[in-house]
Amino acid sequence: MKQKYDDILSRINDKPIWYGSNGVPRYIPFHPKHISNFYSDEVILLRIRCQECHNPFLVEINFLKTSNLPSLEYRLLHIKDFWLNPIHYGDPPRHNDCVGETMNAESLKIVEFWKRDHCNWIRHSEYEISFEITNFEDE
């Protein structure tokens, strides 16, 4: 379950545009330079929804090359191996004390995919896909 950020949300009348990887509300248009992990090598802006109330959110996921996990790009290139959950955010941001805050969010679509090339972020639209296909055996 993500942390509640009432101290931020109660002081700002606007609705967050997107949420960081830890559920922190963000009010600036998305770009990888605004994420919390400065050293990330890959970043996704992902549309998710709460399993309970189906409230949609835009959230950020980032990846470091030094991680022991497969990269975000690798997961997408080998999506059939990860078909059940290739890109996973975890619990959605806190919202309205919904029971769905304790459930894994459903990944709907990669809205933006970014990869760092030395100091520059390059967007890779070829990875910006929907996750509506659930049966890969028909392909």
Structural domain contains residue 96: yes
pLDDT given at position 79: 81
pLDDT given at position 84: 64
* Contact in structure between 42 and 80 (CB atoms under 8 Å): no
Tens digit of pLDDT at every position of the chain (139 positions): 999 999 999 999 999 999 999 999 999 999 999 998 999 999 999 999 999 999 999 999 999 988 888 899 998 888 878 766 678 899 999 998 999 999 999 999 999 999 999 889 999 999 999 986 454 444 4
Nearest to 49 by CA among 10, 12, 104: 104
Structural domain contains residue 32: yes
Structural domain contains residue 74: no
Nearest to 41 by CA among 62, 61, 20: 62
Structural domain contains residue 14: yes
Number of domains making up the chain: 1
Domain that holds residue 52: 6-65+92-133
The pTM assigned to this predicted structure is 0.89
Structural domain contains residue 87: no
